[in-house]
Structure 1
């Protein structure tokens, strides 16, 4: 009789384990399932949605948000936030446009037209400098991340406006006789049928995935984001990690600015406005915890595709831009709610 009882009591446990695994699977893959649902719904509503060409176009749009989201993921894993990425994107585009227009040296009576690779390197260095300012303010001067990056947001946007006087740099394609052509390559060219911007996003995503999963820095980042005090006691260089993640976020924003300016062949000081919120939303939809220490690159990419495919789908079916904002906001709130349920209780 005791044997029968033990068998009977073991069955519910097995069922409980199966149920637990199913619930965890649904929560872990919620961004993927949401993306599939978006594709199915909009494909049924418009014959133009489910086409290879449209997917490639939408993916090139997602590349901008995805690059910002990868940098934001690193910051959020560290338990921080970076509100300056949208302004950094705009400033990076303006600086690239300024360089492509030619740098006047009145004391020598010449105008320098740097080649595109120099423009790209200098723009990425600018992003790293902006990120380093954020990191130093937060790590060493103990300024709250929200306040520090909000201040840098305004400074970067203001510098972009001052550089252009509120205007836009146009016709950034360059001229062959000046040796500065090729800037539009990032935005319009394709390699093996894929937009260059999407390939750039893939390279950054792979590099970030390797950084997080195969290096000591990745372990330091997760540990310092989960419990900064305990990580510091364990010998993790917490301050150095914090500065590096903000620098990487700045570089990602600068590259996103280059890709966007290349796609438009123009650079304006207001580019990237509110993009920081979209980047945060992509990270949250991808399952990362805003408290730090939890999140993946794949989840973040899925979150970026959810936002991008949803926004473009609403445009294709003719939904008002005002309703697009409402739907996007609802998705973000739902994602935060699911994250609160997941991390607030054990299944």
Structure 2
């Protein structure tokens, strides 16, 4: 084959040196982008701050790790954390609660009165104290949620009013509340005060249990999703049908109730009340939540972040007191921490995505083999031969982007569309049609199973079966997660093409691992190879990754002997073979390595060979750019991805190759012809049916030398269509 890697007037192509090859082979540039893209990266910041805090104060504080110090620290932590959980819910919904210090003080007073004066049993006093806190929270929630008052001003007013009521009650009744320690439920009272489980203080144990519950509610329930939606954009949440006012109301009820619960632990621990109880508590809790990484603007954060932030603030506050720093000094430190937390929140939220956009796209070195000669009239098997002039048309004006097509056991043609429908055209003339199914996503690869049902790859969703009764059944939407993968490779991002083995296993491709289906062009520009060949086994319902690192894994076809799967690597311009049976079972080997274009779907031919569609043609400019990662990284920032590849996809081409990987025929459309970007073909009874991802019809080409009785279904299952 001729080497067309140089043109007249152009300097000879300079191959990358050994140093460049080793640099891109050994240094994983993409890891930084992968890490920055993870949701947990926000949690890493408070985790690092916590680790530094523990290290510093463990060195400064005598007996930091002693049982007594950790026990006292745990009791304070439990009380603060319970309040912080409620505050976190409020802030996640886009609000703020400044009244928690006053609510804490009033609930503390009520708790002492119920236990020591009214002599209620502890199990009765606890829910009543929580109810008092919840009622005050409901007052805030009603004003802010339903009357739409400002959260900051409303809770500030509530702080003043409730604090005034508490001061009046303390002055009038404080000295007469505790007459004796004859408590109903003294054992339970003592456990709340200083009990522990495996060394963990009772309040901390309850707080951690509540943290787990809150995490589940916020991340796995409808209410939690509503809270995040309201915090992200109240107008959008309202337009989506979420009851915004009720959601806001409930967040303040939760905040008040958790504050009441924490106040009851304070009652059991100190059994004291005064005008200074809870003063400044709101600053401590808000600092904890914001330092943990929950955004003041709402809609971004997690319970784990609230836990980490609270740990940091409690350790600092408690340790400063042990070191003898005056309370005023502690307030100064907390104020500085709050200011730092706000700065970090604003700056990180503003710049994280900028940094991610600069680092995520990470082109690597990809050396393409010399492009074979495609000149018309040459002796190359790829030479241009315009053989698609006399193509008949099916479904023109009805179909929109039939990326793949198949003919079932009854001789009916099925084709997917851009809008998610699968059309059925009734054979043998294919003039009558109907919408067979709505997949809910873009259907790509489709094939027919032994029972005549349609198997379909839906981009962004996974592998589905559509029965003859039109029932849509999800078969495979994720695979097993690799323990060593930094990215979530369990997710099927873009199920593309598929084929079925004789034993019923379904093999399908997931072309991209770093981008979503809509960003497939970015994967081409990177040249990194994140595609996979997957296998769904209906016997046990499992999905496993068989081969990784493929350059946009695309078309899949079972060989005629049933021993292997042929897999197209689109951006590598090559086809590989994965053995599924026989002595080579489980191994991968190159099959065709130097195609002149980008292979898409593959299908069997009636003479024991195979068809493959070329969705686009290679260009020398793009091949050269693949050897210049730095150049591509700069171009990604300056040139839209479609300007790189779309000019190469204007010509349609189908190749025919044999069992040894030799190309034996080529069918080209004219450069300005009616069949650009052919993505699939299906031979049936002497005719070749053509699909295209941007076309509005299916083409039909008569094959003069093909078997007029051969069908795909019969080739696989022995039946007759």
Give the alignment's TM-score, normalised by structure 1. Answer: 0.88
Unaligned runs of 5+ in 2: 1-12, 356-721
1:43-85 alpha-carbon deviations (Å, 9 max, x no partner): 2223411324322221211122211111110000010010111
Q: Equivalent residue for 1:278?
A: 284
Partner of 2:253: 247
Structure 2 counterpart of 1:110: none
Structure 1 CA distance, aligned partners of 2:203 and 2:228?
Answer: 28
Cα distance in 2 between the residues matched to 1:100 and 1:33: 42
Contact preservation (8 Å) 2:97, 2:152 = yes
Aligned to 2:182: 175
Residue 32 of structure 2 is aligned to residue 19 of structure 1 = yes
Q: What is the aligned partner in structure 1 of residue 102 from structure 2?
A: 87
Per the alignment, residue 130 of structure 1 pairs with 136
Q: 1:30, CA displacement in angstroms?
A: 1.8
Q: Distance in 1 between matches of 2:180 and 2:200?
A: 21
Larger RCO, structures 1/2 (Cα 8 Å, 6+ apart): 1
Query: How far 1:256 sits from its partner (Å)?
Result: 1.0
Alpha-carbon distance, 1:249 to partner = 0.3
Is the 8 Å Cα contact of residues 116 and 180 (structure 2) preserved in structure 1?
no
Shift of 1:252: 0.5
Deviation at 1:26, TM superposition (A): 6.5
**Structure 2 CA distance for aligned equivalents of residues 320 and 94 of structure 1:** 26
Give CA deviations for 1:112-171 in whole Å, capped at 9, x if unaligned. Answer: x32111111111111111111111101121210111111111221122222232635664
Contact 1:97 1:169 in 2 (8 A): no
The answer to whether the 8 Å contact 1:170/1:267 transfers is: no
Which residue number in structure 2 is paired with residue 32 of structure 1?
A: 47
Aligned partner of residue 293 in structure 1, secondary structure = coil
Q: How many residues align?
A: 333
Larger of the two Rg values belongs to structure: 2
Give 3-state SS (helix, strand or coil) of 2:189's partner. coil
Decide whether aligned partners of structure 1 residues 21 and 328 sit closer, same or farther in structure 2, where only a CA change above 3 A counts: farther
Question: Does the 8 Å contact 2:105/2:163 carry over to 1?
Answer: yes
Alignment match, 2:306: 300
- For residues 268 and 97 of structure 2, the distance between their equivalents in structure 1, rounded to whole angstroms, comes to 24
Alignment partner of 1:159 out of 138, 159, 165: 165
Measured against aligned partners, the alpha-carbon deviations of 1:285-307 in whole angstroms (never above 9, x if no partner) come to: 11011000011111111111101
Tell me, yes or no, if the aligned pair for 1:76 and 1:291 is still in contact at 8 Å. yes
Q: Note closer, same or farther for the CA distance 1:71–1:3 as it changes in structure 2 (3 Å cut).
A: farther
Partner residue, 1:263? 269
Cα displacement (A) at 1:267: 2.8
2: CA distance, partners of 1:324 / 1:102: 35
**Deviation readout 1:183-235 (Å, 9 max, x if unpaired):** 34312222332211111111211111111011110011101110111111111
Matched, 1:333 2:333: no
Change beyond 3 A, Cα 1:117–1:268:
farther
**Is 1:168–1:266's contact at 8 Å kept on the other side of the alignment?**
no
Instruction: Provide the rounded CA distance (Å) in 2 between the counterparts of 1:233 and 1:54.
Output: 51
Does the Cα contact within 8 Å between 1:170 and 1:266 map onto a contact in 2? no
Q: Which residue of 2 aligns with 1:219?
A: 225
**Is the 8 Å Cα contact of residues 172 and 183 (structure 1) preserved in structure 2?**
no
1:3 CA displacement? 7.1
> 1:148 and 2:154 equivalent?
yes
Asked whether the equivalents of residues 188 and 196 of structure 1 are also in contact (C-alpha less than 8 Å), the reply is: yes
Q: Given the superposition, is the C-alpha separation of residues 195 and 241 from structure 1 closer, same or farther in structure 2, using an over 3 Å criterion?
A: same
Q: Which moved more, 1:47-56 or 1:287-296?
A: 47-56
Higher strand fraction (1 or 2): 2
Runs of 5+ consecutive residues of structure 1 not aligned to the other structure: 104-112
Query: Would the alpha carbon gap of residues 323 and 155 (structure 1) be closer, same or farther in structure 2, given more than 3 Å must change?
Result: closer
- What is the alpha-carbon distance in structure 2 between the residues aligned to residue 2 and residue 149 of structure 1? 69
Between 1:319-328 and 1:94-103, the stretch displaced more is: 319-328
CA-based RMSD of the aligned residues comes to: 2.5
Q: Which residue of 2 aligns with 1:58?
A: 73
